Amino acid sequence: MTEFDESFKKVIMLEGGYKLHKVKGDRGGMTYAGIARKRWPKWSGWGKIDAKEYDAELTGMVRAFYKKEFWDRIRGDDMGAPEVAYHIFAFAVNAGLKTAVRMTQRIIGALPDGILGNKSFRRLNEMIQDEKDERIFVVTFSLFKIFRYKNICLNDDRRDQDELISNQKFLCGWINRVQKGLE
Protein backbone atom coordinates (compact mmCIF):
# COMPACT_ATOMS: atom_id res chain seq x y z
CA MET A 1 0.00 0.00 0.00
CA THR A 2 1.35 3.45 -0.87
CA GLU A 3 1.89 6.31 1.57
CA PHE A 4 -1.04 8.10 -0.09
CA ASP A 5 -3.33 5.11 0.48
CA GLU A 6 -2.39 4.95 4.17
CA SER A 7 -2.79 8.70 4.62
CA PHE A 8 -6.04 8.82 2.68
CA LYS A 9 -7.51 6.03 4.80
CA LYS A 10 -6.81 8.03 7.96
CA VAL A 11 -7.96 11.37 6.52
CA ILE A 12 -11.28 10.03 5.23
CA MET A 13 -12.02 8.80 8.76
CA LEU A 14 -11.18 12.24 10.19
CA GLU A 15 -13.58 13.72 7.65
CA GLY A 16 -16.43 11.50 8.86
CA GLY A 17 -16.26 8.87 6.14
CA TYR A 18 -18.35 8.82 3.00
CA LYS A 19 -21.26 10.79 4.37
CA LEU A 20 -23.18 13.88 3.38
CA HIS A 21 -23.15 16.53 6.12
CA LYS A 22 -24.89 19.85 6.51
CA VAL A 23 -24.39 21.52 9.89
CA LYS A 24 -26.03 24.81 10.80
CA GLY A 25 -23.42 27.54 11.05
CA ASP A 26 -20.75 25.63 9.13
CA ARG A 27 -19.31 28.05 6.60
CA GLY A 28 -18.42 25.14 4.33
CA GLY A 29 -22.10 24.28 3.96
CA MET A 30 -22.99 20.92 2.46
CA THR A 31 -20.03 18.57 2.68
CA TYR A 32 -19.52 15.06 1.36
CA ALA A 33 -16.54 13.04 2.59
CA GLY A 34 -14.84 16.27 3.61
CA ILE A 35 -15.42 18.02 0.27
CA ALA A 36 -17.30 21.28 0.85
CA ARG A 37 -19.70 22.17 -1.92
CA LYS A 38 -19.17 25.92 -1.44
CA ARG A 39 -15.41 25.50 -1.84
CA TRP A 40 -15.51 22.91 -4.62
CA PRO A 41 -18.78 23.54 -6.54
CA LYS A 42 -17.42 22.11 -9.81
CA TRP A 43 -16.30 18.78 -8.36
CA SER A 44 -17.85 16.13 -10.60
CA GLY A 45 -19.04 14.06 -7.64
CA TRP A 46 -21.84 16.52 -6.85
CA GLY A 47 -23.85 15.23 -9.82
CA LYS A 48 -23.76 11.70 -8.41
CA ILE A 49 -24.65 12.95 -4.92
CA ASP A 50 -27.58 14.99 -6.26
CA ALA A 51 -28.76 11.85 -8.06
CA LYS A 52 -28.24 9.85 -4.83
CA GLU A 53 -25.76 7.53 -6.57
CA TYR A 54 -23.55 6.58 -3.66
CA ASP A 55 -21.47 3.87 -5.28
CA ALA A 56 -17.91 2.66 -5.82
CA GLU A 57 -17.45 5.18 -8.63
CA LEU A 58 -18.20 8.05 -6.23
CA THR A 59 -15.77 6.59 -3.70
CA GLY A 60 -13.10 6.54 -6.41
CA MET A 61 -13.93 10.12 -7.34
CA VAL A 62 -13.35 11.21 -3.73
CA ARG A 63 -10.02 9.39 -3.62
CA ALA A 64 -8.89 10.88 -6.95
CA PHE A 65 -9.95 14.36 -5.82
CA TYR A 66 -7.95 14.13 -2.59
CA LYS A 67 -4.90 12.86 -4.44
CA LYS A 68 -4.96 15.54 -7.14
CA GLU A 69 -5.99 18.57 -5.08
CA PHE A 70 -4.00 17.88 -1.92
CA TRP A 71 -1.53 14.98 -1.89
CA ASP A 72 0.06 15.70 -5.25
CA ARG A 73 0.17 19.44 -4.55
CA ILE A 74 2.14 18.92 -1.32
CA ARG A 75 4.34 16.46 -3.20
CA GLY A 76 3.49 13.76 -0.70
CA ASP A 77 5.09 10.97 -2.74
CA ASP A 78 8.42 12.84 -2.73
CA MET A 79 8.48 13.78 0.93
CA GLY A 80 11.09 11.88 2.88
CA ALA A 81 8.95 11.74 6.03
CA PRO A 82 5.62 9.88 5.74
CA GLU A 83 4.17 11.23 9.00
CA VAL A 84 4.97 14.80 7.98
CA ALA A 85 3.33 14.22 4.60
CA TYR A 86 0.25 12.79 6.30
CA HIS A 87 -0.11 15.75 8.69
CA ILE A 88 0.33 18.39 6.00
CA PHE A 89 -2.11 16.48 3.76
CA ALA A 90 -4.73 16.09 6.51
CA PHE A 91 -4.58 19.76 7.43
CA ALA A 92 -4.72 20.83 3.77
CA VAL A 93 -7.97 18.88 3.44
CA ASN A 94 -9.34 20.45 6.63
CA ALA A 95 -8.13 24.05 6.35
CA GLY A 96 -7.08 24.48 2.74
CA LEU A 97 -3.86 23.86 0.87
CA LYS A 98 -2.42 27.37 1.23
CA THR A 99 -3.12 27.44 4.96
CA ALA A 100 -1.37 24.09 5.50
CA VAL A 101 1.59 25.10 3.37
CA ARG A 102 1.94 28.51 5.08
CA MET A 103 1.95 26.79 8.45
CA THR A 104 4.62 24.37 7.23
CA GLN A 105 6.68 27.27 5.91
CA ARG A 106 6.50 29.12 9.22
CA ILE A 107 7.76 26.04 11.06
CA ILE A 108 10.68 25.51 8.68
CA GLY A 109 11.58 29.21 8.54
CA ALA A 110 10.64 29.76 4.90
CA LEU A 111 8.69 32.64 3.40
CA PRO A 112 5.02 31.79 4.15
CA ASP A 113 3.58 32.35 0.67
CA GLY A 114 1.37 29.26 0.63
CA ILE A 115 3.20 27.67 -2.30
CA LEU A 116 5.27 24.57 -1.64
CA GLY A 117 7.95 25.37 -4.21
CA ASN A 118 11.36 23.81 -4.60
CA LYS A 119 13.02 25.98 -1.92
CA SER A 120 10.41 25.26 0.74
CA PHE A 121 10.26 21.59 -0.20
CA ARG A 122 14.04 21.22 -0.04
CA ARG A 123 14.16 23.07 3.29
CA LEU A 124 11.46 20.83 4.76
CA ASN A 125 13.27 17.66 3.69
CA GLU A 126 16.61 19.00 4.97
CA MET A 127 15.05 19.81 8.34
CA ILE A 128 13.72 16.29 8.82
CA GLN A 129 16.64 13.90 8.91
CA ASP A 130 15.37 11.20 11.25
CA GLU A 131 12.37 10.02 13.28
CA LYS A 132 13.12 12.49 16.09
CA ASP A 133 13.03 15.44 13.64
CA GLU A 134 9.85 14.06 12.14
CA ARG A 135 8.20 13.84 15.56
CA ILE A 136 9.28 17.38 16.49
CA PHE A 137 7.76 18.70 13.27
CA VAL A 138 4.51 16.78 13.82
CA VAL A 139 4.10 18.00 17.41
CA THR A 140 4.94 21.60 16.43
CA PHE A 141 2.55 21.43 13.48
CA SER A 142 -0.17 20.05 15.76
CA LEU A 143 0.28 22.90 18.24
CA PHE A 144 0.12 25.44 15.39
CA LYS A 145 -3.17 23.86 14.29
CA ILE A 146 -4.65 24.20 17.78
CA PHE A 147 -3.57 27.86 17.93
CA ARG A 148 -5.17 28.45 14.54
CA TYR A 149 -8.45 26.86 15.62
CA LYS A 150 -8.42 28.90 18.83
CA ASN A 151 -7.89 32.11 16.86
CA ILE A 152 -10.72 31.26 14.48
CA CYS A 153 -13.04 30.95 17.47
CA LEU A 154 -11.78 34.07 19.23
CA ASN A 155 -12.25 36.15 16.09
CA ASP A 156 -15.67 34.76 15.17
CA ASP A 157 -18.52 36.55 16.91
CA ARG A 158 -21.45 35.47 14.74
CA ARG A 159 -24.32 34.74 17.08
CA ASP A 160 -28.00 33.94 16.85
CA GLN A 161 -30.24 35.13 19.71
CA ASP A 162 -30.79 31.64 21.05
CA GLU A 163 -27.95 29.62 19.67
CA LEU A 164 -24.26 30.03 19.11
CA ILE A 165 -23.78 29.64 15.35
CA SER A 166 -20.13 30.57 15.27
CA ASN A 167 -17.20 28.27 14.73
CA GLN A 168 -16.82 27.96 18.51
CA LYS A 169 -19.06 24.91 18.44
CA PHE A 170 -16.47 23.15 16.29
CA LEU A 171 -13.47 23.80 18.57
CA CYS A 172 -13.64 20.54 20.55
CA GLY A 173 -14.00 18.55 17.34
CA TRP A 174 -11.03 20.31 15.80
CA ILE A 175 -8.90 19.62 18.87
CA ASN A 176 -10.02 15.96 18.83
CA ARG A 177 -8.95 15.81 15.18
CA VAL A 178 -5.47 17.02 16.16
CA GLN A 179 -5.29 14.45 18.95
CA LYS A 180 -6.37 11.60 16.65
CA GLY A 181 -3.69 12.64 14.19
CA LEU A 182 -1.08 12.23 16.91
CA GLU A 183 -2.16 8.68 17.83
Q: Determine the pLDDT at residue 15.
A: 87
Does the pLDDT of residue 142 top 60, yes or no?
Answer: yes
How far is residue 50's CA from residue 43's CA, in Å, rounded to a whole number? Answer: 12
Contact 33, 42 (CB under 8 A): no
- What average pLDDT does the segment 170-183 reach? 70
In tens, the pLDDT along 82-116 reads 999 999 999 999 889 999 999 999 999 999 999 99
* Alpha helices, DSSP H, located in 53-96: 56-66, 82-95
Global pTM reads 0.86
Q: Determine the pLDDT at residue 153.
A: 72
* Residue spans per domain, the chain: 3-182
More confident residue, 90 or 16: 90
How far is residue 76's CA from residue 4's CA, in Å, rounded to a whole number? Answer: 7
Q: Determine the pLDDT at residue 169.
A: 62
Q: Determine the pLDDT at residue 29.
A: 79
Specify the CATH architecture of the domain 3-182.
Answer: Up-down Bundle (1.20)
Does the pLDDT of residue 172 top 50, yes or no?
Answer: yes
β-bridge mates for residue 31, sequence order: 21, 36
CA distances from 2 to 77, 114, 181 (A): 9, 26, 18
